[in-house]
Structure 1
Amino acid sequence: MTGSVPQRPSTQVGYAQLSTVDPAAWQAAGTAWASLAGPAERRAGELAEDATALRPGWSGRAGRSAQSRLSGLRAELITLVPAVIEVDQVLAEFAARLAAARARLTAAVALADTAGVLIDRWGRVRPDPSRVPADRAGPTVVPVAAAVHDALALATAADREAADRLGQLAADAASGWVAPPPPDRPAPGTDPALVNLWWAGLTPAQRRWLVRHEPELVAGLDGVPADARDQANRSLLGARREELRAEWGRLLARVPRGPAELAGLRRVNAALAGLDELADRLDSSQPPRAYLLGLAIGGEGRTVVALGNPDRATGVLTYVPGMTAGLDDATDELGRAARVLSRCAELAPGEETSAVLWLDYDAPDFLHEAARDKQARAAGEALHRFQEGLRATHDGPPARQTVLGHSYGSLVVGTTARDHGLAADALVFLGSPGVGVTHAAELGVPPGQVWASTAPDDVIRLTRPPDDLVRQAVLGTSPVITIAGMLAGPGDERWFGRDPAEPTFGGRTFPSGRYGHTGYWHPDNPALDGMARVVLGQ
């Protein structure tokens, strides 16, 4: 495991190798490969411009030959983009599995130290005669030996898989990198299980053809594996940025420029800034690797980003943010998901977990919008389909899937579970205004796997449902009066049903410190431990 490409091991990875390997170096190597995508795209664009410039002045056989050659070079460069992203994915996943294996080895060493057991540089385990009597050697050695074996087995499997995947990439490049697939395509909204069957029936060359030629299709299909969706969405980033810049130019050119144009300019400027920040995170070698599973620039913007490959993880968190969430603050929301993953790593260092920011709905921007469930209900089908897609694309045994909603996002999760069903093993509600039901049993998961937490100083505790007259008379008129009517004091009834953090709801709770409505992810807040333990099934 010391070269530029992992080699197929003839024997199991050794103790000394695993104890000294640097997973971050492999992650950085993958990032370096991915960084070639930008220059390749730029050079392909330059070749297209060159071909256009040559066409009027160069005709005949030589001109046609030159145009053909330029077109072929451009095609090769365009094909290179998903290829280098794929190398990055392989090396990042290899690094993640090495990190998990090293964590398991560290835990084995700690267990050995506690039990009075020695481990030599070859990973052989024996009792320390000065600490363990001969008649107690077996019970102390066996669990340590098993833990060491488990860590080395994971590293060996990761090493072999990475070598095989890179070897297949090289073989495909030599034998035919892309090939057109059959003409049938799944329509948008197709059952993710059927999408996954279609995808599984394609050859690797046909899948790469689709990523290259039909990225819009691949990018948005639930049931397509995360690695292919990531390749397709990343290839569309540049086009999305240019669309926003073009919209900026159109708005700027309008004279006179009224309130609508000014609001539009502010929105586009915020979306561009958010897209640039998201692109920086995607380009970063910071673990875990980010997978771009969805991106839209209309309205406030939408995105779906996974930290770590959810198709490979044993535990997957889907986080649905609340009011005002949009593309402009997607990286901040992603940071919340990252803090849950970090706490998971602290609590269970050898586990492979992934967290997804699901911001694929139109979140309310104002309080009078958040007082209605219209946007939550509109999000339901998409969230349902996304979770079904995670089930369909997962490798190996099913992952433990947890869906977490914060604030208005908790209503999105609750109404989706109520109206469509959610492929989830656990639900978590934070700072909830109600989740659209009166009891945990109505959510389609065991009540023992419905969790909630509300901070003692969360302003959401002040919300109470207005009576029908206030709702009808006020919601359509004054947001200020709406606020006054809804901030009506304590009680277990919220805007959208019973408070899920109250005993009468029938779920389970974990504590939160006094960190307000947005402080559940604060490093010192016990709520962060609560979230991580639910994700891990602890």
Structure 2
Amino acid sequence: MTGSASARAGYAQLATADPAAWRATGTAWASLTRPTGQRADELVDSATTLRSGWSGPAAGSAGARLCDLRGELVMLVPAVIETDQILAEFAARLAAAQARLRAAVALADTAGVLIDRWGRARPDPSRVPADRAGPTVVPVAAAIHDALALATAADREAADRLGQLAADAGSGWVARPPPDRPVAGSDPALVSRWWAGLTPAQRRWLVGHEPESVAGLDGVPAAARDQANRLLLGLRREELRAEWGQLLGRVPRGPAELAGLRRVDAALAGLDALAARLDSPDPPRAYLLGLEVGGEGRTVVALGNPDRAAGVLTYVPGMTAGLDDATDELGRAARVLSRCADLAPGEETSAVLWLDYDAPDFLPEAARDGQARAAGDPLHRFQEGLRATHDGPAARQTVLGHSYGSLVVGTAARDHGLAADALVFLGSPGVGVAHATELNLPAGQVWASTAPDDVIRLTRPPEDLARQAVLGAAPVNTIAGLLAGPGDERWFGRDPTASTFGGRTFPSGRYGHTGYWHPDNPALDGMARVVLGQ
């Protein structure tokens, strides 16, 4: 990493660079957050001990200095997280540049072009006639230039960002912002303008001193939300542990307490798994954009920075999804990103797990649309926030819903509109509309797939169930009727894979209701191609 305005990445330099080493360096910086927080807590304990045995002006001065030191330590945590973000994003762009370079080398091999150690391309005289030299070499040289340009831009940007971070640390690191703050649910465009009007020092103050006001606010850039939510993660874990202690201390413990203990235990396990993924040096880097531990728990996690990617996928999971299995759902998003990388080497993409709604836990809940309707406005705001905070040209945004999540996506698009270039529905029980045009997107950008052996194919409208019940059908026959629907109708409108729905489809293999992300399932290719706009 040079940072010099005149320095340009060389062919050999790019070919031998190690993005993993830069990513590991960032992770090492991020690992300082825990000991830094522990030291800050120790200073609080020291100040408490001091006050109990010492009084007077000198004691007051000492206590004030301890408080100042603690404040400095607390504000160091966002800085080390930001360092990790910068180095991880540099590593990701370096890897993308290397992918482009490999594609250029493959093109050269196919076209009969030789590349020397300085990256200069020339025709292989044994394979390319003299009159074809120019047309053969030009595409290879252009591809090499494109790869080196991306690496050079990434190098300069990372060096500039790190240099600015170091310069800011010298003076004016934090400054209290004006008192007015946007509240949760504010228009993301207004939030974005408010954030842009703050100085870097004011933004750091908010992240360090009021992380709750930043963590879940759509319209705040992903990097700042990630810093704020990582600061809050430890506090949320302590809240769960405190709740565990309270439930454990109740004697006798009835069914409610036992259910509470099971819920807290599952949430703690999910939170620990999520923290492990956040701490992992494995690419792509995870950005924590939202976290709640109440109820079933909620979280929003991005793989790769969505503010910088050319293509962004928002994945909305379905029934039973919660904090306890968030990393499993995140793994599905990761598999789509991996397939995108296979299909378009060098393309920068990001995938977001959007689990910011109360997903149904049982079939009777899933047979109603109340939870989907409640999720519509939050999903709408989130997508608007992605549009507002994106750097450079607008990203191609795709929103994908699986199972009940497809109803969430369809309901949000129908009732509120979604800032999306494409919608994808997998294993859908219906998306709340009868035709693709009701989703406020061009019908050609509405996609769906249902596996031949997906049980969702057997569903039919709940009113048919009620009709059978009125007619006195036996309960077992009533349930069988619910799972034996003819035609194109599903629980929540027409099957989005039906020709009468008016959208487009891509195939799926026989992998059941949850197998769309299986590595051998052609549906995985379908998802990736929609994200890439292919």
Shorter-chain-normalised TM-score: which range? over 0.9
Residue 300 in 1 paired to residue 296 in 2? yes
Q: What secondary structure sits across from 2:529 in the alignment?
A: helix
2:271 matches 1:285 = no
- Name the structure 2 match of 1:395: 391
SS in 2 for 1:138: helix
Deviation at 1:260, TM superposition (A): 1.0
> Partner of 2:207 in structure 1?
211
Tell me if the contact between 1:500 and 1:507 (Cα under 8 Å) persists in the aligned partners: yes
State the SS of the aligned residue for 1:467: helix
Q: Which residue of 2 aligns with 1:345?
A: 341
Tell me the alpha carbon deviations over residues 224-261 of structure 1, each in whole angstroms, 9 at most, x when there is no partner.
00000000000000110011111111111112211111
Instruction: Note if 1:10 corresponds to 2:10.
Output: no
Secondary structure in structure 2 of the residue aligned to 1:181: coil
CA distance in 1 between partners of 2:324 and 2:492 (Å): 27
Read off the aligned partner of 1:68 and give its amino acid letter.
A
The residue identity in structure 2 corresponding to 1:266 is: R
Tell me how many residue pairs correspond in the alignment. Answer: 531
1:410 aligns with 2:406: yes
- SS of 2:462's partner is coil
1:329 aligns to what SS in structure 2? helix
Q: CA deviation at 1:12?
A: 1.3
8 A contact 1:460–1:517 mirrored in 2: yes
**Residues 1:227 and 2:223 aligned together:** yes
Q: Look up the match of 1:443.
A: 439
One of 521, 527, 530 as aligned partner of 2:523 = 527
CA distance 1:367–1:39, shift in 2 (3 Å): same
Whether 2:195 is the aligned partner of 1:161: answer no
Question: How far apart are 1:64 and its partner, in Å?
Answer: 1.7
CA distance in 2, matches of 1:471, 1:176: 70
Residue 9 of structure 1 deviates from its aligned partner by 5.3
Indicate which of 503, 507, 510 corresponds to 1:507.
503
Deviations 1:293-336 (A, max 9, x none): 00001110000000000000000000000000000000000000
* Equivalent residue letter for 2:161: R
Answer whether contact 1:367 1:483 (CA < 8 A) is retained. Answer: no
In the alignment, the residues of structure 2 paired with residue 488 and residue 53 of structure 1 have an alpha-carbon distance, to the nearest angstrom, of: 70
**Residues 467 and 134 of structure 1: CA distance in aligned 2, closer, same or farther (over 3 Å):** same
Contact residue 425 and residue 448 of structure 2 kept, 8 A: yes
CA apart distance, 1:188? 1.4
Counterpart check, 1:106 vs 2:102: yes
CA distance in 2: counterparts of 1:73 and 1:261, whole angstroms: 42
In the alignment, structure 1 residue 370 sits paired with structure 2 residue 366: yes
Distance 1:468 1:153 in 2: 61
Q: Percent identity?
A: 85
The secondary structure found in structure 1 opposite 2:9 is: coil
* Alignment partner of 1:465 out of 461, 471, 474: 461
1:179-230 Cα distance to aligned partner (Å, 9 max, x none) = 0111111121111001000000001000000000110010010000000000
Q: Residues 3 and 157 of structure 2 are in contact (CA less than 8 Å); yes or no, is this contact kept in structure 1? A: no
Q: Which of 321, 325, 331 is equivalent to 1:325?
A: 321
Distance in 2 (alpha carbons) for counterparts of 1:83 and 1:356: 24
Q: Which one-letter code corresponds to 1:499 in the other structure?
A: D
Q: Distance in 2 between matches of 1:536 and 1:368?
A: 37
**Bigger mean CA deviation after superposition, 506-515 or 67-76:** 67-76
Match of 1:265 in 2: 261
Gap runs ≥5 in structure 2: none
Amino acid at match of 1:290: A
Alpha carbons of structure 1 residues 238 and 416: separation in structure 2 relative to 1, 3 Å: same
Partner of 2:32: 36
Structure 2 Cα separation of the partners of residues 176 and 468 of structure 1:
67
- C-alpha displacement of 1:90: 0.2
8 Å CA contact 1:513–1:526 kept in 2: the answer is yes
CA pair 117-433 structure 1, distance change in 2 beyond 3 A: same
SS of corresponding position for 2:424: strand
Query: How far 1:10 moved relative to its partner?
Result: 2.7
Q: CA deviation at 1:479?
A: 9.7
Unaligned residue ranges in structure 1 (runs of 5+): none
CA contact (8 A) 2:461 2:491 kept: yes
Identify the match of residue 147 of structure 1 among 130, 143, 147: 143
**8 Å CA contact 2:99, 2:346 repeated in 1:** yes
Letter in 1 for 2:212: E
Please tell me whether the aligned partners of residues 465 and 481 of structure 2 are also in contact (alpha carbons under 8 angstroms).
no
Query: In structure 2, which of residues 139, 158, 171 is the aligned counterpart of residue 175 of structure 1?
Result: 171
Residues 479/220 of structure 1: CA separation in 2 closer, same or farther (3 Å cut): farther
RMSD between superposed Cα atoms in Å: 1.5
Letter matched to residue 501 of structure 2: F
Task: Give per-residue Cα distances to partners, 1:19-59, cap 9 Å, x unaligned.
Answer: 00011111110000000000000110011011001102111
SS of 2:281's equivalent in the other structure is coil
Structure 1, residues 153-180: CA drift from partner, whole Å, max 9, x if none?
Answer: 0000000000000000001000221001
User: Could you list the per-position Cα deviations for residues 452-508 of structure 1 after superposition, in whole angstroms to 9, with x for gaps in the alignment?
Assistant: 00000000011011336717969xxx9978744421244210000000011111100
